[in-house]
Amino acid sequence: MKCLIQLNRREQHLDATFERARQVDADTELLSDFAKYLCILVSGYLEQASIEILIEVTRLQSAPRVQRHIESRLHQLTNFKTQRLVDLFRSFDPDWGIQLDSFLIDEYKDAINSIVDNRNTIAHGGNVGITVSRVLNYYTIIKKVVKKLNEMCLTTTK
């Protein structure tokens, strides 16, 4: 499945980037810059993984015209904070929205909302006090969210 291959590639790229960050010596300014970069990548990973999963669902279930329309609409979306993510999946299937809403509790919501908020602050030139370690914690949680999205959407469409 093309979607799973893409998701694996994205994860491998992020995992390798985190590994390079671990190898950086104790230069705090460089580590701070690395943390910002990783924050942007992790936020993009959540967005792109969500989009790719929904495009795959559409590909499996819809006519080519519908696929093209959905794909163009999905690529316009950004800032996948928790509520936006739940609403997006609910728009495809109300049960997905319910499942996702009950799955995204406490640290899951915090990880998603924090990574997106930090990414936006960074993108607009603001200062954030994020560390590589904190981003890695968020990434670990977000990988679980992506796995849940994949299982929820693609195992029910076969």
pLDDT of residue 26: 67
* Each residue's pLDDT tens digit, 29-69: 888 888 999 999 999 999 999 999 999 999 999 999 999 99
Closest CA to 15 of 43, 38, 32: 38
Mean pLDDT of the chain: 90
154 vs 14, more confident? 14
Q: Sketch the domain layout of the chain as residue ranges.
A: 2-154
H-state helical runs in the chain: 2-22, 28-61, 64-74, 82-92, 94-103, 107-123, 132-154
